[in-house]
């Protein structure tokens, strides 16, 4: 049984008279433990789809079932609770809280869950260890490099053991070397910890670390033929 | 809720200059409010109370300053004949300043042996005998003593007279503690030859069954045939009438304290709006992590309330220190309102700042919690 079942999903934006429909009657299933790369040209609706699955945006029609919960039926508050318990979100850039240390940033999502402080400490230590930043726990974001910041962001996304981790162009702002380190890290999280991941990228090389590549066009997703992935 | 306290504090600390400026602005405004409120409280204390309501003051008609009211001392005998009157105390009043002032000196000359039965005074230093036996002796209220650094045995000089401090007293009434009592005859003589046999006012006690206002009318009626026409009022009413200009001013100062409220409100609201606008994206990230909109609101309200409470606490503390240390009394025409710090004042100040903090933060907090997440995250 799929972990994520998306049915007949449509999302429209209205700008004055103009209506944009980045997601149109879309169907998609994602199995547990899959690593899906969402590719496509700029403006094709990749981020929009990701945000709908992440429960931070609402569709016009259709349903999004994640592990048996229909996100479209939840209230704002319930969606927040759902995100705290089930979602890890890796942002493109600079989304750590500047007044908090790396440790405190990673701890943030755990403050929303019922947990003893001891358990919180164990989980944060583990997450920082996974991303290889145990020695930077007490550093503030401005004291970290771009790649380190992103790794703290990833630690924050996995610390609560989420059902699904989503990432929107996680390497978009990094140089090639750092980008590759992050790719390796994401791949390890998927393979070794079995985390289900959806990653948006327009870079075919980055997408190649995923177990399944999807191409987005005209509001739908399709599995591209192998030749296409190779040339994009 | 308190799990996020470090986040709130660190956010305020990050912009410490901004926080500090807001806190000090609020502190000044709350300080001014506290001061105004203490004047109002002082006035209330003076006008309410058993003595102010039950005792009568006989004064020369159409006169206000104690130096201009001159009643024959033997009016006391004629007043005593009015039904219901149980006692009459002649008082000669001297003041350094008939106009409004922040440092009033008021001296009451009374028959020395009768003072203890008319005023509930507790001698903290000195002895009653030393006061009654020495004609130039005086007992000094402790608030006045503290303000002017007067000590037992000192020689106090006002205008052309000089008194010996034979005691320092405390009283339940703050206004009393700002007075000096000396012998009636001494003050009459000091006022000059022409003042012999004359007093400024007569204070009348009536029994429980008698309505003070009826007795007041009868006293004026009784004395109409005398040389000097009189106006008799309840003590509280007499005092308010005497400083009526000041009472009006105090009523106006209410608006000033409202202005202070507005000032704190706009100051803290501005700071909170700025801080929220700076962090649209941060708040969107927090919500993406699972912070509920309601909790986000509470976090922002906590910020504005902490700022306001810190300002309020500083303002209240400052007002307390200044009032305690300064022992001010504002008055005119021989009637003084004493300013005192009080727990009620402090509580009111803190409650007002708590309320203002919540009000100031409400709009920015509500806005932040309503901002669509995706749009906020895109702002980079
Ligand atoms: N909040 C919004 N309001 C209006 N239009 C939007 C909004 N978000 C996205 N769009 C539009 O929807 C389309 C898809 O956007 P997006 O999902 O960000 O594309 P991608 O991530 O694939 O580059 C774009 O044309 C974009 O302008
Ligand atoms: Mg995008």
Identify the band that residue B150 occupies on the pLDDT scale cut at 50, 70 and 90: very high
pLDDT at B380: 59
How far away is chain A from the Cα of B274, in angstroms, using its nearest Cα?
Answer: 17
Task: Output the residue whose Cα is nearest ligand 1's atom 20.
Answer: A43
Domain match, B75 and B206 both: yes
In a 13 Å sphere around the CA of B378, the CA atoms on its Cβ side amount to: 10
Q: What is the mean pLDDT of residues B96-112?
A: 82
Give the ipTM: 0.93
Question: Is B275 within a domain?
Answer: yes
Residue B52: per-residue pLDDT: 83
So what's the pLDDT on residue A232? 45
Total beta-carbon pairs less than 8 A apart between chain A and chain B: 68
pLDDT of amino acid B159: 78
Mean pLDDT of B264-283: 94
| Distance of alpha carbon A174 from alpha carbon A131, whole angstroms | 16
Indicate whether B221 and B254 sit together in one domain: no
- Neighboring chain A residues of B4 at a CB cutoff of 8 Å: 111
CB B58 within 8 A of CB B219: yes
pLDDT of residue B265: 93
Degrees to nearest 5, angle at CA A134 with A132 and A138? 130
| Alpha carbon distance, N-terminus to C-terminus of chain B | 29
Shared domain check, B142 and B104: yes
Stretch B202-209: mean pLDDT, rounded?
A: 90
Tokens of B220: 């004026």
Mean pLDDT of all residues in chain A?
92
| Window from A83-92, B211-220, B245-254 with minimum mean pLDDT | B245-254
Joined tokens for residue A11? 């999302």
- Confidence at residue A231, expressed as pLDDT on a 0 to 100 scale: 46
Residue B289 and residue A100: Cβ atoms within 8 Å? no
Domain-embedded: residue B289: yes
Tell me: do B265 and B223 sit in the same domain.
no
Same domain, B252 and B211: no
Q: Which residues pair with B50 in a beta bridge?
A: none
Atom of ligand 1 nearest to the CA of A45: 17
Percent of chain B with pLDDT over 90: 58
- pLDDT tens for chain A, 232 residues long, are 899 999 999 999 998 899 999 999 999 999 999 999 999 999 999 999 999 999 999 999 999 999 999 999 999 999 999 999 999 999 988 689 999 999 999 999 999 999 999 999 999 999 999 999 999 999 999 999 999 999 999 999 999 999 999 999 999 888 899 999 999 999 999 999 899 999 999 899 999 999 999 999 888 888 766 555 444 4
Whether B84 and B160 map to the same domain: the answer is: yes
| pLDDT tens sequence across B257-268 | 999 999 999 999
pLDDT single digits (tens) B301-345: 999 999 999 999 999 999 999 998 887 888 777 777 888 889 999
Q: What value does the mean pLDDT take over residues B360-364? A: 95
Q: How far is residue B361 CA from its own chain's centroid?
A: 32
* Chain B residues inside the 8 Å CB shell of A95: 281, 285
**Token pair in block for residue B26:** 């609020």
Count of domains in chain B? 2
In which residue are the tokens 């209230």 written? A75
Q: What angle do CA B132, B121, B68 make, to 5 degrees?
A: 75
Average pLDDT over residues B62-70: 82
**Are B202 and B265 within one domain?**
no
pLDDT of B249 over the 60 cut:
yes
The reply to whether B42 and B73 lie within a common domain is no
Tokens of B87: 């006692």
pLDDT tens string A65-98: 999 999 999 999 999 999 999 999 999 886 899 9
Nearest to A83 by CA among A58, A59, A123, A54: A54
Contacts of B12 in chain A (CB under 8 A): none
Portion of chain B with pLDDT greater than 70, in percent: 98
Pair (B92, B205) in one structural domain? yes
* Contact state of A93 with B373 under an 8 Å Cβ cutoff: no
pLDDT at A214: 94
- Chain A residue whose CA is closest to B293: A77
CA dihedral of residues A191, A197, A198, A200 (deg, nearest 10): -60
C-alpha–C-alpha distance, residues B198 and B188, integer Å:
7
Instruction: Give the residue from B228, B255, B288 where a domain finishes.
Output: B228
Assess whether B33 and B70 both reside in one domain: no
Do B222 and B318 lie in one domain? The reply is no
The DSSP string of A198-221 is EEE-S-HHHHTTSSEEEEEETTEE
Q: What is the pLDDT of residue A94?
A: 67
Residue B176 counted as domain residue: yes
Q: What is the pLDDT of residue B339?
A: 86
Q: Closest Cα to atom 16, ligand 1: which residue?
A: A45
Q: What is the pLDDT of residue B335?
A: 79
The first and second tokens of residue B13, run together, are 């600390």
**Which residues lie near ion ligand 2 (Cβ < 5 Å)?**
A 47
Contact with chain B for residue A109, Cβ under 8 A: yes
Structure token digits, residue B317: 């503390």
Nearest by CB: B373 against A56, A92, A108: A56
Domains and CATH numbers, chain A: 4-221 (3.40.50.300)
Burial environment of residue B318 by CB neighbours within 10 A (0 to 12, 13 to 18, 19 or more)? middle
Distance from the CA of B296 to the center of ligand 1, in angstroms? 26
Do B215 and B283 share a domain, yes or no?
Answer: no
| b (16+ CB within 10 A) / e for A153-185 | bbbbbbbbebbbbbbbbbbbbbeeebbbbbbeb
Q: Which of B5, B12, B278, B290 to mutate to test the interface with A (most CBs of A within 10 A)?
A: B290
Nearest CA to ligand 1 atom 10: A13
Give the model's confidence band at B51: pLDDT under 50 very low, under 70 low, under 90 confident, else very high. confident
Helix (H) or strand (E) holding B337: strand B335-338
Q: How many H helices and E strands in chain B?
A: 15, 14
Q: What is the pLDDT of residue A226?
A: 57
| Tokens representing residue B218 in the block | 């009868």
Domain of residue B15 covers 2-46+245-378
Looking at residue A230, what is its pLDDT?
A: 46
The predicted structure's pLDDT at residue B268: 94
pTM as predicted: 0.83
Strands (E), chain A: 4-15, 18-30, 35-39, 61-66, 69-70, 87-90, 164-168, 196-200, 212-217, 220-222
pLDDT score of B101 more than 80: no
User: Of B201, B228, B255, which residue constitutes the final position of a domain?
Assistant: B228
Residue B235 lies in a domain: no
Q: Is residue B51 part of a domain?
A: no
């Amino acid at each position: 049984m799929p972990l994520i079942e998306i049915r007949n999903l449509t999302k429209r934006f209205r700008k004055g008279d103009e209506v944009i429909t980045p997601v149109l009657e879309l169907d998609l299933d994602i199995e547990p433990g899959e690593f899906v790369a969402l590719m496509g040209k700029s403006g094709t609706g990749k981020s929009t789809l990701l945000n709908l699955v992440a429960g931070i945006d609402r569709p016009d029609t259709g349903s999004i079932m994640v592990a048996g919960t229909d996100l479209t039926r939840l209230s704002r508050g319930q969606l927040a609770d759902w995100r705290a318990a089930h979602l890890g979100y890796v942002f493109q850039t600079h989304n750590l809280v500047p007044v908090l240390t790396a440790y405190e940033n990673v701890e943030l999502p755990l403050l929303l869950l019922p947990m003893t402080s001891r358990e919180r400490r164990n989980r944060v230590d583990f997450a920082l260890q996974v991303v290889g930043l145990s020695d930077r726990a007490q550093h503030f974001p401005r004291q970290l490099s771009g790649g380190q910041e992103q790794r703290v962001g990833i630690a924050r996304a996995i610390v609560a053991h989420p059902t699904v981790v989503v990432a929107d162009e996680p390497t978009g702002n990094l140089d090639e070397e750092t980008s590759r380190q992050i790719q390796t890290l994401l791949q390890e999280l998927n393979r070794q910890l079995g985390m289900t991941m959806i990653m948006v990228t327009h870079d075919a090389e980055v997408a190649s670390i995923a177990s399944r590549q999807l191409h987005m066009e005209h509001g739908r997703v399709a599995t591209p033929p192998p030749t296409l992935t190779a040339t994009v | 809720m308190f799990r996020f306290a470090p986040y709130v504090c660190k956010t305020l600390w990050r912009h410490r200059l901004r926080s500090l400026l807001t806190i000090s602005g609020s502190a000044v405004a709350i300080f001014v409010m506290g001061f105004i409120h203490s004047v109002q409280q002082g006035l209330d204390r003076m006008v309410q109370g058993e003595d102010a309501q039950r005792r009568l003051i006989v004064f020369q008609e159409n006169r206000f300053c104690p130096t201009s009211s001159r009643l024959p001392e033997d009016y006391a005998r004629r007043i005593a004949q009015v039904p219901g009157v149980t006692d009459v105390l002649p008082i000669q009043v001297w003041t350094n300043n008939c106009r409004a002032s922040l440092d009033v000196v008021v001296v009451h000359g009374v028959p020395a042996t009768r003072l203890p039965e008319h005023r509930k005074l507790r001698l903290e230093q000195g002895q009653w005998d030393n006061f009654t036996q020495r004609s130039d002796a005086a007992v000094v209220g402790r608030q006045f003593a503290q303000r002017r650094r007067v000590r037992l045995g000192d020689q106090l000089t006002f205008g052309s007279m000089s008194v010996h401090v034979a005691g320092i007293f405390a009283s339940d009434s703050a206004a009393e503690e700002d007075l000096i009592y000396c012998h009636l005859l001494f003050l009459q003589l000091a006022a000059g030859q022409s003042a012999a046999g004359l007093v400024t006012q007569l204070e009348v006690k009536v029994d429980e069954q008698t309505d003070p206002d009826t007795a007041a009318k009868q006293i004026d009626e009784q004395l109409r045939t005398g040389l000097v026409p009189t106006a008799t009022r309840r003590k509280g009413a007499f005092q308010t009438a005497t400083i009526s200009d000041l009472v009006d001013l105090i009523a106006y100062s209410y608006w000033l304290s409202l202005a202070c409220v507005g000032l704190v409100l706009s100051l803290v609201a501005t700071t909170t709006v700025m801080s929220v606008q700076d962090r649209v994206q941060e708040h969107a990230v927090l919500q993406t992590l699972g912070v509920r909109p309601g909790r986000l609101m509470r976090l922002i309200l906590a910020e504005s309330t902490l700022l306001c409470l810190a300002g309020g606490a500083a303002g209240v503390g400052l007002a307390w220190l200044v009032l305690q240390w300064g022992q001010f009394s504002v008055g005119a025409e021989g009637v003084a309102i004493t300013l005192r710090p009080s727990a009620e004042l402090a509580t009111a100040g803190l409650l007002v700042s708590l309320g203002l903090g919540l009000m100031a933060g409400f709009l920015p907090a509500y806005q932040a919690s309503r901002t669509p997440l995706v749009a906020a995250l895109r702002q980079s």
